[in-house]
Structure 1
Amino acid sequence: MDRWRHILRVTEELGDAVAGIRATEPGSTAAGLLASLDPAGMAKAAGECLDTLSTVRSRVNRGTVNLGVSGRARNGKSTLLQSLSGLDDRQIPSGRGQPVTAVRSKIYHSLTDRGARLTMHTERSFLEEVIAPYHAELGLGPAPRDLSAFARHLYPRVIDDEAAEGAARPTLGPMLARLREAQQALPSYRAYLTGEIRTVDLADIRDWVAYPEADAEPDRRLYLAVRDATITCAFPIEDVTALGLVDLPGLGELTPDAEEHHLAGLRNDIDFAIVVKRPTDTNAMWAREDADALQLIGRACAVADVRDFTLVLVNTGACLPENVTALHDDLRDRLNAASGDRGYWVILADGADGDAVREQVLHPVLDHLATALPRMDEVVIEDAIAVCRDRGERIGSDLDELSKTLRTLAVPTLTEQMIARAETLRAQVAASLQVWVEGLRGRADKDYEDEEFFERVAEVHAEVREWMLGGFGEGPEAWQERALSRFRVDRASLPFASAELNRIRVEMARRFSAVDDLLLQRRDEYWAGLVAGLGTRMVRLTNGHGPRPQDLMAAMAEALRDAPDPCPSLAETLDFALDVRLDYRTRVLPRLRRALDVLFPEEDDPRDGNAATTLLAVPRTAEGAAELFNRVTQLARQAAYDAQAVLAQEPGTTAQVLFAYGEQFEDAFVRSDSSEAEFRRLAAAFQDRLWPDEGTGPQAVTEGLRKVHRLAAELRTLIADERPRIAVERTGR
């Protein structure tokens, strides 16, 4: 069974793999060639083996010989069980009129234990196994999903004439009545729907296993909470140790799936079936319903001879002799005459007479089973072996056809697939980076004008000019008053003029640094374009780091360095790209400082006769202060003009720098001598992260075919292991 469970699991996985290929690429060659494969049929064959083996296991694993008592209601089934077990109406109810037994019970002989163990329904099993069949049979739609919904559900009072026509109406009407009774009585048993095993004294068992008596509370139906009942007591029979009695559900009861419940009990729980038939005035002939009952037992036997498995007990208790004779003759002439040389076993006995039942029924049955059980076991086991062999050969034949198909479909090896992925990724990255580099080339062209940068420079120059003409931050009058005051203190104009030129030069350099934001923006645009050029697949290396492009690049470099097989050259190239320096202090300030040299009080070379100090000496009067303001303003305006000219050259220079950086990055990342090898390492180390979307497209078909190959090989090995084992068991060698 373990082997066949394994086979079933592999066939189901094979079915999923084939279905995945068909769903991924419905029009592909692989999907077309696999269309004729029937994995569901293979799984069904394995399931049939498991069902057959499970029946064998249930049969040989029982610790008791179980006799099942079957028959239509009101034929003495419960009375026979009482005679065999020694129990009475308080434990195995019997009566006239409607059926009494509501729960299938198993009764076991025990000299030490006396009591009952009730396996209770859970809320879910109650709704699925008890209520849902009523809904299906009555055409009421899906069953309620919980008990509260069941309690609120509005059930019709009568069967819809359109839903039930003719003969169906008398059957469905009582079913609907039972369903409404179950709903009305819900408060009486709701608390017991726990799934637990409940121990009950035999004196209190009746309410749990029988329909209520006529004078009982109409809304009390505890039996609805019981899934199964097991009773233990001492049978009034000597020399009995391991004997069990199974009270099978009454045939002909108006409950959904009654026949299937009966069949399940016959197949799984018993070794021998006693069919009770009581010849009353209206029941003295062998009827269609009786024949159906034997046919049902035949279905349960499957391969064993039903005559080894079955006894027809004519219950003669309180019956007229002529009715007994009529039934006996009818069985001889109509049932057994049509059965060939070996007819059904028929015994006449009073089911209420314990002594007669023991002597005339039980003892002969046990004597029969002493020789019949081994015979039936052998047939059942032989059939199970034959079923497994047949299903194994069927699956093997399907695998042969699958192998022919797979041989026509070339599937790349894992190494080939990894190399192909690496080459494809490298080509994609190269193509995308080249598009990005071409964009950088266009910006570096001499005819390209960075309007945004020019506008920013003009904006900063205007702010500096306004600052100068507005009195260098304090107003012309205030500036001149401060100058005159300083003239008087120093008894000279040059100290103030020198200090003021120094202040203005430093402040102008600071104010022109306002273009730094645009320079940094160009660098960020460069990084963003580079990350986009690497592609979304490469970004998956970052595991969600970000969102800034430089953070993503740093995370990529770290992942490449820390890979099981590192990619140092690719990581170093990313580090190089992160080292782009495009800020104001690095790129602009050195050249801008030369433009501001005019604001030094003296030339660096004091031997130059054109020293600026000659322009700064003014009278120490108000008129001199005004003249000095005009001279300093002129120098500042000249410096601002020169600085603006320096900044106007920066967009082209910056673009050339970024283009050079981009070219170098693309060249090193794609074409270095280690690039090809490191892309393969990259593909191997991060394949799950880089290709998480392989559930679609041709790649998914390849993965699916590889899985089909593997599962087919595994299944073939399992089937091959099964065939020799069966052969050894059959021959005993």
Structure 2
Amino acid sequence: MDRAEKIAAIRARRAENATRTEAIGTHLADVETALLTLERVRADLLDRVGEEPRERLSALGPGLRDLADKIALERAAVDRALARLRRGTLNIGVVGRARQGKSRLLQSLTGLTNREIPDGSGRFCTGVPSTIRHFDGQTYADVYYHSERSFVDEVVGLYYDRYGLGARPVSPRAFGASPLPSLPPDRASNPQAESAYGHLRAYHDAFPEYGPLIGRASPERVGDDRIRSFVAQDDPDGNPLHAFRAVRRVEISTKFHQSDLTGIAVIDLPGLGDTNLGDSRVLLAALEDDVDLVLFVRRPNPEGDGIHEVDVDLYGIAQSALPEIAMERRSFMILNHRASVDQDNLANAKSFAADLEKSPIRVAGVHITDCSKPEQVIAAFDPIVDYLLTTIDSLDETIISERVRRRGEIDQEVRLLIEQSSFVHQFAQPGDMSKLVFQELFRQTYENLAGALEDLVGEFRAERDAPETKLGEAVAAVLARARIDDGIPAADQIARRRNVEGSNIKAFSGLMDEARSHLSRQFLELDESLNETVTHMWARLATALRDPGELGHLSAQEGRAFLADLSGQIGQVRLHGPSEIRYALDIVLNFGLSYRGFFQHRIRPCLDGMSADNPETVRPDGDSSPKDVREYLDIAYQEALYRCEEALSGLLSEPNSAVFAIVEEFRDRVLRSRRTAEEWDALYWRHRSDVWSGEFDALAAETVHLQMWNEAIERLNTML
């Protein structure tokens, strides 16, 4: 199996693992929703119960909120794992402090130059992270810009928070237009703070040059000649560039020296070692979400060097991004060997490699390589890729196993919470009087609801065979417009078309197709009136449920939005099986009328005569004049329009018939189906204190919340 086949197989296995991991995320989301419901009910109960249960409910609060926070964090970890598994490439992140040879290594590996991957000495050239993937074609890049929110949150806002500059700017425009706050006196003499403030000042001073790019639609595709202008801090002549300040990331596609790296990508991260606050954040985010294997690049000083604190710190950042996998399983070290006439760092590179074994830094392998020489870089990169292909399944399984383990821990904490909540059952029994009051109120309301639905069915039945007024008006308007605007060109334009096509027959055929398409397009506008018919039905049905059915308290919405809210609040109203009421509501919510689904298949046969291939179509011959050709087109158009008018005139009542059928079906589902009365009973019982607030006392209100608590606990039990 060659590399390409191995990479394809790994991607297939990742897709399967993504499905497994997605199920974990779905479970956690369901548990989180149930816990948030439980917390809401607990907060409501505090003012409705006696002193002893209130104290015990209060004691549950911190643990419940803490568990919900843990689940939120774990869901974020699952999302990151899913992003990793769903990626189209296996990514190797190239990490290093500035001026260590990282950009030279990437140039040697990919065949790109400093036009696309900036390098240099004395400055921090790379301004944004760049993902570079092997692509057998012309080099290009997709540029992703900061949104207004991400620019504030991830770039300038960091400086305001870290150095006490006051409230963050509300938008990039506000940042650029307002004077820059001064450093507080207690920070002004701090060299690091002054250096960081200088970076912020550079963002502020250059804002007019890059500000218009923030929020631009992404990605923007650019050619290789423009890539550097979006990723570099200066051009090859040393002149400053500022577009990178508005760029979040760049994805470059180019042809690597090695043709078997399809599916492999390398990520060029901004060099660390500066006081630009965004660098560490960018590095950490990339290592968490985008990188499968880390490649550290270090150039030992020829005059003497060793492992410094900054090296250990950089290694620690990388380890913290994915702590469940040891760095020695997912990282390599490239020691950049540079030699000149008077200096050669080879000896210090070898010494550095030996010192690694005695340091906290542990990697899977070390290569001493001249990063400026493609043949050496490729020789070092090949075994690194082979290692990745060999170990990636194990690394993925480690990540997934950690997510499975954390799910198990969370489920165990949920079980403990359920045990601690068992005392609520002691005071969760409804009072007898409360039940008697409910039974009488429910009987009256159910009768009113049933009567309203029956009346509504009768009203729609009476309208069933009548033409739909709005549709009739819309059809008349379309036909009138179609008579005026036939889309057929004038004779002189037809003459030019004949000259281009070479004959009357060819010109006639094309013009006939265009006229037919023009006429067909006119009728698509009937969708609006059909939608009005359905919207009117939703409004009348919602009114019956909201007013006679007294369910208006469940939603402040109208029409379809009210029906959707009601469907979402049905809850568990059957001991076994799904709710018939919710099923009926969903049928109504998903009902729609459209021209394409209702009329189009009946209109299209009326257009058959507008085809040059139709044997009944009168066609011009070689001697026909442009005026004759236009007359033939007009005859076919008018005949087709007449047939459309005839067809539509017999269909105007059909929308009313369809609406009647769906309303009658709804009535049958919610009133005539087996045991739906029991569903209504359960629904109204749950919401009794809201539906009939004036008739229920505090005990009834307390009971409904306790019942909701029990249901939330039962949902949690079911999930486990």
TM-score (norm 1): 0.57
| 1:175 maps to 2:200 | no
SS of residue matched to 2:301: coil
| 1:97 maps to 2:122 | yes
Q: Partner of 1:77 in structure 2?
A: 102
Q: Partner of 2:32 in structure 1?
A: 8
Distance 1:306 1:80 in 2: 21
| 1:161 maps to 2:185 | yes
Q: Partner of 2:703 in structure 1?
A: 702
Distance 1:214 1:704 in 2: 69
| 1:395 maps to 2:414 | yes
What do residues 436-477 of structure 1 show as CA deviations (whole Å, max 9, x unaligned)?
xxxxxxxxxxxxxxxxxxxxxxxxxxxxxxxxxxxxxxxxxx
What do residues 268-315 of structure 1 show as CA deviations (whole Å, max 9, x unaligned)?
111111100001257721110101111222223322231120111101
Distance 1:330 1:11, change over 3 A: same
Checking the alignment, whether the CA contact within 8 Å between 1:21 and 1:700 is kept in structure 2 is no
Distance 1:189 1:293 in 2: 30
Q: What does residue range 237-316 of structure 1 map to in structure 2 within 5 Å?
A: 237-281=258-302, 284-316=305-337
Distance 1:259 1:407 in 2: 51
- 1:345 corresponds, among 365, 368, 375, to 365
Distance 2:335 2:58 in 1: 58
What do residues 223-273 of structure 1 show as CA deviations (whole Å, max 9, x unaligned)?
122122111011111322211011123222312253232121112111111
Distance 2:137 2:164 in 1: 49
Checking the alignment, whether the CA contact within 8 Å between 1:45 and 1:395 is kept in structure 2 is no
Distance 1:256 1:700 in 2: 53
Distance 1:208 1:411, change over 3 A: farther
Distance 1:140 1:198, change over 3 A: same
Distance 1:240 1:100 in 2: 27
Q: Partner of 2:157 in structure 1?
A: 132
Q: What does residue range 380-391 of structure 1 map to in structure 2 within 5 Å?
A: 380-391=399-410
Checking the alignment, whether the CA contact within 8 Å between 1:135 and 1:143 is kept in structure 2 is yes
Q: What does residue range 263-662 of structure 1 map to in structure 2 within 5 Å?
A: 263-281=284-302, 284-318=305-339, 323-333=345-355, 335-338=356-359, 344-359=364-379, 361-402=380-421, 404-412=422-430, 417-419=434-436
| 1:142 maps to 2:181 | no
Which residue identity is paired with 1:716? N
SS of residue matched to 2:357: helix
Distance 1:695 1:176 in 2: 63
Question: 1:355 deviation in Å?
Answer: 0.7
Distance 1:350 1:184, change over 3 A: same
Question: 1:117 deviation in Å?
Answer: 0.7
Distance 1:685 1:387 in 2: 35
Distance 2:696 2:336 in 1: 68
Distance 1:424 1:363, change over 3 A: closer
Distance 1:685 1:395 in 2: 25
Question: 1:190 deviation in Å?
Answer: 2.6
- 2:176 corresponds, among 151, 157, 160, to 151
Checking the alignment, whether the CA contact within 8 Å between 1:49 and 1:391 is kept in structure 2 is no
Which residue identity is paired with 2:428? A
Checking the alignment, whether the CA contact within 8 Å between 2:160 and 2:166 is kept in structure 1 is yes
What do residues 338-393 of structure 1 show as CA deviations (whole Å, max 9, x unaligned)?
569x865211001111110001x211101212322122222222222212112211
What do residues 486-537 of structure 1 show as CA deviations (whole Å, max 9, x unaligned)?
xxxxxxxxxxxxxxxxxxxxxxxxxxxxxxxxxxxxxxxxxxxxxxxxxxxx
Q: CA RMSD in A?
A: 3.6
Question: 1:174 deviation in Å?
Answer: 2.3
Checking the alignment, whether the CA contact within 8 Å between 1:4 and 1:46 is kept in structure 2 is yes
User: Which is further off, 107-116 or 375-384?
Assistant: 375-384
Q: Partner of 2:135 in structure 1?
A: 110
Distance 1:321 1:310 in 2: 29
Distance 1:687 1:695, change over 3 A: closer
SS of residue matched to 1:337: coil
Greater gyration radius: 1
SS of residue matched to 1:412: coil
Which residue identity is paired with 1:10? A
Question: 1:424 deviation in Å?
Answer: 12
Aligned length: 460
SS of residue matched to 2:267: strand
What do residues 143-179 of structure 1 show as CA deviations (whole Å, max 9, x unaligned)?
12134422332224x63331356xxx22221222222
Distance 1:694 1:200, change over 3 A: farther
What do residues 195-230 of structure 1 show as CA deviations (whole Å, max 9, x unaligned)?
432111121111211113596666x62112212211
Distance 1:132 1:542, change over 3 A: closer
Which residue identity is paired with 1:109? H
Q: Identity, % of aligned pairs?
A: 26
Distance 1:34 1:76, change over 3 A: same
User: Which is further off, 236-245 or 191-200?
Assistant: 191-200
Distance 2:70 2:695 in 1: 32
Checking the alignment, whether the CA contact within 8 Å between 2:111 and 2:257 is kept in structure 1 is yes
Distance 1:274 1:693, change over 3 A: farther
Checking the alignment, whether the CA contact within 8 Å between 1:286 and 1:331 is kept in structure 2 is no
Gaps of 5+ in 2: 1-24, 443-548, 554-680
TM-score (norm 2): 0.58
| 1:713 maps to 2:687 | no
Distance 1:148 1:50, change over 3 A: closer
What do residues 668-701 of structure 1 show as CA deviations (whole Å, max 9, x unaligned)?
xxxxxxxxxxxx99x9799576545999966554
